[in-house]
């Protein structure tokens, strides 16, 4: 195992986490790991345990959100024979199984309030009683907890005990979502690809630079877990091929306008980034103009005229084209108009053509209804 225990990243936040792990691991202090789903909270817990004095003893992982409320106490603390229907014998719980080692309580925010009281006693006194039992059991267990919830907010709403929160939060680690550390994405893609191909004996030609930039600019709501699933699926389905942007589009709807509008960390020079932004804007404008021409033709020309207009394969200089803007009965120069003007016109035209139906207009424009409502408000359109 490498020094980073599988935690990949060159971003400042990941480097800080690695430093924090080395500082906190040798102690027995409770640790609360916070982060969105899929960011790698369990990996951090494993790294803390692996560098602790308990590394040769058990690490017991418990997903609190996956255990039904009615049996969670029995699962954590065990039960005695006859404690409830079906309890045909005594059984150790996860805390006893983790004795002298570490217990990792994932999704601690899902734990019922009644169970939180018992957990607090274990944290403070290191002892508990099994369900249906009368004898006190003592354990030597380090507790690491994790959550994707805002526990401070849960404390205020009464969903989580404040005393347990403060006890767990003796030391906390926050894992940033992938969208906040984009400089780590290409490293992760290469690491995931290499390991998966080696494990499954698959030949894979990798991703093009443009495909990697496309992946880098995506928001990844499912974080590393989502990225890993996508990369592994592509390797299997695109075996032996070099994956480009067109291939990526088959597997996920990338939101790459994020990369156009927001400043993100990049290894490219400012000149390269500016050239790429301009190129993307030109391609978008070309697509918008082509669609606009087709919309105008459909609405203004008779059925006896040709059904389509020429689609240019290159952005060529030509005479400025004048289009009537039906919103305010004014003309604007299409070639000199901004993307916002073209977008406003397209949305207004689609709503007029579809009698104000926002659902149909959003579908015809290829955007969500939520986006359409936002654009209508932004452009102050009369719908």
Model confidence, pTM = 0.65
- Between helix 185-200 and helix 223-237 the angle, nearest 10°, is 50
* CATH code of 204's domain: 1.10.8.60
* CATH code of 63's domain: 3.40.50.300
Residues 230 and 243: beta-carbon distance below 8 Å: no
- Does residue 3 sit within a domain? no
- Percentage helix, strand, coil for the chain under 3-state DSSP, each rounded to 5: 50, 10, 40
Which residues share a beta bridge with 129?
A: 136
- Beta-strand (E) ranges in 64-115? 102-106
Asked whether residue 316 falls in the same domain as residue 233, the answer is: no
Question: Residue 61 has what pLDDT?
Answer: 96
46-60 pLDDT tens trace: 999 999 999 999 999
Q: Which position has the token pair 């200089």?
A: 317
Task: For residues 10-38, give the mean pLDDT.
Answer: 95
Question: Residue 287 has what pLDDT?
Answer: 54
- Does residue 239 sit within a domain? yes
Q: Name the more confident of 140 and 325.
A: 140
Question: Residue 319 has what pLDDT?
Answer: 39
Residues 137 and 129: beta-carbon distance below 8 Å: yes
Give the phi and the psi of residue 90 in degrees, each rounded to 5. Answer: -70, 150
Asked whether residue 156 falls in the same domain as residue 214, the answer is: no
Three-state DSSP state, 139: coil
Give CA–CA dist 170/277, Å, rounded. 46
Question: Residue 199 has what pLDDT?
Answer: 93
Residue 279 has pLDDT above 70, yes or no: no
Three-state DSSP state, 65: helix
Structure tokens at 3: 């020094």
- Beta-strand (E) ranges in 98-233? 102-106, 127-129, 136-138, 142-147, 172-174
Lowest mean pLDDT among 91-100, 160-169, 187-196, 292-301: 292-301
Lowest mean pLDDT among 155-164, 261-270, 368-377: 261-270
203-262 pLDDT tens trace: 889 999 999 999 999 999 999 999 999 999 999 998 888 999 888 888 877 654 444 444
Percent of the chain with pLDDT over 90: 52
Asked whether residue 17 falls in the same domain as residue 150, the answer is: yes
* CATH code of 311's domain: 1.10.10.60
57-106 pLDDT tens trace: 999 999 999 999 888 999 999 988 877 777 778 889 999 999 999 999 99
Domain of 304 in residue numbering reads as 270-379
Asked whether residue 134 falls in the same domain as residue 59, the answer is: yes
Phi-psi region of 118 (alpha: psi -120 to 50; beta: other; left: phi over 0): alpha
- 320, 324, 328, 331: CA torsion to nearest 10: 30
- 333, 335, 341, 346: CA torsion to nearest 10: 100
Mean residue pLDDT across the chain: 81
Question: Residue 120 has what pLDDT?
Answer: 94
Lowest mean pLDDT among 59-73, 75-89, 127-141, 170-184: 75-89
Asked whether residue 254 falls in the same domain as residue 164, the answer is: no
Q: Please name which of 117, 161, 177, 167 lies closest in space to residue 145, comparing C-alpha atoms.
A: 167
Which residues share a beta bridge with 63?
A: 106
- Does residue 31 sit within a domain? yes
Asked whether residue 170 falls in the same domain as residue 189, the answer is: no
At 293, is the pLDDT very low, low, confident or very high (cuts 50, 70, 90)? low
Lowest mean pLDDT among 153-157, 295-299, 345-349: 295-299
Residue 289 has pLDDT above 50, yes or no: yes
Asked whether residue 71 falls in the same domain as residue 189, the answer is: no
Give CA–CA dist 204/214, Å, rounded. 19
- Does residue 234 sit within a domain? yes
Task: For residues 292-315, give the mean pLDDT.
Answer: 45
Give CA–CA dist 116/162, Å, rounded. 10
- Does residue 225 sit within a domain? yes
- Computed from CA positions of residues 343, 345, 348, 351, in that sequence, does the dihedral angle turn out positive or negative? negative
Give CA–CA dist 53/121, Å, rounded. 24
Asked whether residue 27 falls in the same domain as residue 171, the answer is: yes
Q: Name the more confident of 334 and 144.
A: 144
Give CA–CA dist 23/233, Å, rounded. 37
Give CA–CA dist 303/102, Å, rounded. 75
Asked whether residue 38 falls in the same domain as residue 139, the answer is: yes
Number of domains in the chain: 3
Please say which residue of 176, 192, 226 terminates a domain. 176
């Amino acid at each position: 195992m490498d020094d980073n225990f599988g935690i990949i990243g060159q971003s400042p936040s990941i480097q800080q986490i690695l430093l924090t792990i080395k500082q906190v691991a040798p102690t027995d202090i409770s640790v609360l790991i916070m982060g969105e789903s899929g960011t790698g909270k369990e990996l951090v817990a494993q790294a803390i345990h692996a560098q602790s004095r308990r590394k040769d003893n058990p690490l017991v992982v418990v997903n609190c959100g996956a255990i039904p409320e009615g049996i969670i106490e029995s699962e954590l603390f065990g039960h005695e024979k006859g404690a409830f229907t079906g309890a045909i014998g005594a059984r150790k719980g996860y805390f006893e199984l983790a004795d002298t080692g570490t217990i990792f309580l994932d999704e601690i925010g899902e734990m019922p309030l009644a169970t939180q009281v018992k957990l607090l006693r274990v944290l403070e006194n290191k002892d508990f009683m099994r369900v249906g039992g009368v004898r006190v059991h003592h354990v030597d267990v380090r507790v690491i907890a994790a959550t994707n919830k805002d526990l401070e907010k849960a404390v205020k709403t009464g969903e989580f005990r404040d005393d347990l929160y403060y006890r767990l939060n003796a030391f906390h680690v926050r894992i940033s979502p992938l969208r906040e550390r984009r400089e780590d994405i290409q490293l992760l893609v290469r690491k995931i690809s290499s390991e998966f191909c080696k494990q499954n004996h698959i030949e894979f030609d990798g991703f093009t630079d443009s495909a990697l930039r496309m992946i880098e600019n995506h928001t990844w709501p499912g974080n590393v877990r989502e990225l890993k699933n996508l990369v592994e699926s592509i390797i299997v389905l695109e075996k032996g091929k070099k994956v480009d942007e067109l291939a990526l589009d088959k597997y996920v709807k990338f939101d790459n306008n994020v990369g156009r509008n927001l400043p993100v960390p990049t290894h490219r020079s400012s000149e390269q980034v500016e050239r790429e932004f301009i190129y993307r804007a030109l391609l978008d404008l070309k697509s918008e103009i082509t669609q606009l021409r087709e919309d105008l033709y459909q609405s203004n020309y008779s059925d006896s005229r040709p059904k389509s207009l020429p689609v240019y394969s290159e952005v060529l200089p030509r005479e400025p084209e004048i289009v009537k803007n039906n919103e305010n009965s004014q003309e604007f120069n299409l070639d000199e108009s901004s993307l916002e003007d073209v977008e406003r016109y397209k949305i207004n035209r689609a709503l007029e053509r579809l009698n104000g139906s926002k659902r149909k207009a959003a579908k015809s424009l290829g955007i969500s209804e939520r986006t359409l409502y936002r654009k209508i408000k932004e452009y102050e359109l009369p719908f």
